[in-house]
Structure 1
Amino acid sequence: MRSNANKNIIYSIVLLLMVAIVYLYRQNQKQNIQEIKQDFTNKLVLSGNTMGTTYRIVYLDDLNRDFQESVDSLLMVFNQSLSTYIADSELSRFNQSDSLQFELPFLLPVLKSSKEVHMLTQGAFDPTVGPLVNLWGFGPGGPQLKDSVNINTMLALVDFNSIEFDSVQVKKLKPKMYLDFSAIAKGYGVDIVAGFLQDKGIDNMLVEIGGELVAKGTNENGELWRVGVNKPEEISKPDELYSIIALSNRAMATSGNYRNYYEAGGMKISHTIDPATGRPVRHGLLSATVIANDCMRADALATAIMVMGTEKAIELQKKNPDFEIFLIYNDENGHLKSYASEGIIPFLSFVQE
């Protein structure tokens, strides 16, 4: 009898130990789940539409604040200043007149940055080239070739040096001149949104509008934000990557000719128009990625570099190491090549096929 009693006692002790072990295991699992959940609840993702494209914002916030409404409101006011599609925007009203006094805080900074990049690139970046872009069929009218008379007439109005401004107003020295900031506005919008989030105490973020972006701090894994550069081939998929760049508190913008084009008369017509000639560029540069301290400058430089071509772009960057470049181009034999400036190499990796 005593032997059976001892067995029952041992069995009870073992059973209690098993129950305790299972309980502690479940509590530990529950705690781990809660910890994992807590680690990721401070990651927020916002998305929407703006400037004829989309935006996506990822940021980390211990307070789990949702800034969607604020960002949309900010971008709405931004567009009210710089959009050419809004009839009563500041920019549209200036294009319809000869002068304008500033009302919102966005037009003056974009004029200043445009002037700087215009001078740096010897006119390769010129916001007054918009009418020629439309003339060649990359506006609402669709693809259409124009004769040289029309081009030369419009070319006389491509002259950013004839746009004068101070802290109060902007004016044009030639009537009928037309400003279009589509090659710099998205980058500027990224800077504005990133600045807004920083003012709210957000240190870790990735802000992207239409492919132009700013990265601050790190992602939820404590790593640098990694962004892709698309493969510049006409037959490639839109999301097919050529390389990946890790960004450390920098801005990045990419411009390319490999998809936005049409063919006419046996010629490939690129959407990048040279302000000096009024005609589409014809060189081997397919994609230009620029990394700079702010996205407005990166955006404008990427556009200018697509006008300049590979060799001139490399020469420009070597003289101005405050920005980095990654170029994808066809060599003289039609082979796909790439070039990375020295400062970007440690952050660059290539996608294996």
Structure 2
Amino acid sequence: MRTNANKNIIYSIILLLLVAVVYLYRQNQQKPEENIEEKVTGKVILSGNTMGTTYNITYLDPRERDFKASVDSLLVVFNQSLSTYIPDSELSKFNQKDTLFFGLPYFLPVLQSSKKVFEITGGAFDPTVGPLVNLWGFGPTGPQLKDSVNIDGMLDLVGFNKINFDSTSVRKSKQGIYLDFSAIAKGFGVDVVAEYLQGKGIENLLVEIGGELVARGVNEKGELWKVGINRPEELGRADALYSIVALDNKGMATSGNYRNYYEAGGIKISHTINPATGRPVNHSLLSATVLADDCMTADAYATAMMVMGTEQAIDLQKNQGLFEIFLIYSDSTGQLKSYASEGLKPFLSFPQD
């Protein structure tokens, strides 16, 4: 009996040792998996040139794939559709003719978005303002303004409701109408690049073209992507920030008049042309930042707000509720002031915070 008891004790000890060995083995087997999990962030940074400006892309990919060549090729095709600086682009061909049948997939979406924002803003956003943008010196050929030019007469060529389109083509209802998508194309390009990367399985990314951005997911720290809004100062440093925004799966665009202007006869000529008057805007709104679900929409509304001015921009956002805004303006004493819509405030901080 005693011998059997001793055997049972020995078997129990052996069993415990085996359990311990199995446990330690499994723990050791799990460690490499935990290390792989830590490396899954694989940060990749790309940069290049497009649309007369630069692009910067950051994304997280465990395989650390380099998509630069593909992104560059994509943007070449995109510009071949919507650039006014390429003589044989689809947009340039349409501006030279009365009708265009779409050959690339980018013209129709930008027309659809432009029409929507044109209607919501009461014409403050209007890509047919192109002839007047060119006239005042902000187009491909430089200033064309002469004493003999009848600006009021040219307003007959302005009005996006004079453009008709369907799924296959776009047509002008009046000869001489000229489209300029410079106030929406960069934002659309950002969306196109972001969508391409997402199609490759990239879930966390930040894409920027000429200051227009879209963020998806989080950065390598697991936090929302954070971007800055510049101080609207003519001679200020390019990296001088007024505020910082955390982007929660949003597109963001900023429009301003404080750097893109020239002087003529002692008068500052702003690049923002009011489609209703045909003349550069002159008000206290210095910078308009818009956050929307996509960057194309944000880009268009930011431009519209620079036409509308501070009070109308605030009213538009409150009435629509489709996007969030951050405005920087000068008060009656020339001091910088800012306004943030309620939905943006939780995502907003300032450098001194």
Pairwise TM-score range, normalised by the shorter structure:
0.7 to 0.9
SS in 2 for 1:110: helix
- Which residue pairs with 2:4 in the alignment? none
CA distance in 1, matches of 2:145, 2:180: 21
- Which residue pairs with 1:317 in the alignment? 317
Q: Which amino acid aligns with 1:49?
A: N
Q: Which amino acid aligns with 2:266?
A: G
CA distance in 1, matches of 2:233, 2:351: 14
- Which residue pairs with 1:28 in the alignment? none
Deviation at 1:168, TM superposition (A): 1.1
Any stretches of 5+ residues in structure 1 without a counterpart? Answer: 1-30
CA distance in 2, matches of 1:304, 1:74: 28
Task: Name the stretch that deviates more: 299-308 or 326-335.
Answer: 326-335
Q: Is the 8 A contact 1:136 1:146 kept in 2?
A: no
CA distance in 1, matches of 2:148, 2:214: 41
Q: Residue deviations 1:136-174, cap 9 Å, x none?
A: 122344456544743123221111110000111100011
Report matched runs for 1:224-235 at 5 Å.
224-235=224-235
Task: Name the stretch that deviates more: 236-245 or 41-50.
Answer: 41-50
* Cα distance change on mapping 1:308 and 1:279 into 2, 3 Å: same
CA distance in 2, matches of 1:126, 1:347: 30
Q: Which amino acid aligns with 2:300?
A: A
Q: Which amino acid aligns with 1:195?
A: E
TM-score by length of 2: 0.87
Q: Which amino acid aligns with 1:43?
A: K
Q: Is the 8 A contact 2:40 2:61 kept in 1?
A: no
Kindly indicate whether residue 93 of structure 2 is the aligned counterpart of residue 93 of structure 1: yes
Q: CA RMSD in A?
A: 2.1
CA distance in 1, matches of 2:228, 2:94: 37
Runs of 4+ aligned structure 1 residues displaced above 3 Å come to 34-41, 140-149
* Cα distance change on mapping 1:314 and 1:269 into 2, 3 Å: same
- Which residue pairs with 1:133 in the alignment? 133
Q: Is the 8 A contact 1:270 1:281 kept in 2?
A: yes
Q: Which amino acid aligns with 2:242?
A: Y
Task: Name the stretch that deviates more: 40-49 or 292-301.
Answer: 40-49
Q: Paired residues, what number? A: 322
- Which residue pairs with 2:250 in the alignment? 250
Kindly indicate whether residue 222 of structure 2 is the aligned counterpart of residue 222 of structure 1: yes
SS in 2 for 1:138: coil
- Which residue pairs with 2:104 in the alignment? 104
* Cα distance change on mapping 1:283 and 1:36 into 2, 3 Å: farther
SS in 2 for 1:155: helix
Deviation at 1:37, TM superposition (A): 12
CA distance in 2, matches of 1:181, 1:145: 21
Task: Name the stretch that deviates more: 34-43 or 56-65.
Answer: 34-43
Task: Name the stretch that deviates more: 313-322 or 132-141.
Answer: 132-141
Q: Is the 8 A contact 2:292 2:324 kept in 1?
A: yes
Deviation at 1:235, TM superposition (A): 2.4
Q: Residue deviations 1:10-43, cap 9 Å, x none?
A: xxxxxxxxxxxxxxxxxxxxx9xx9699648710
Q: Residue deviations 1:293-349, cap 9 Å, x none?
A: 010000000000000000000000001112000000011221110000000001101
Any stretches of 5+ residues in structure 2 without a counterpart? Answer: 1-30
Q: Is the 8 A contact 1:136 1:143 kept in 2?
A: yes
CA distance in 1, matches of 2:35, 2:307: 51
CA distance in 2, matches of 1:91, 1:287: 28
Percent identity, aligned pairs only?
72
CA distance in 1, matches of 2:267, 2:202: 49
Q: Residue deviations 1:274-296, cap 9 Å, x none?
A: 00000000100000000000100
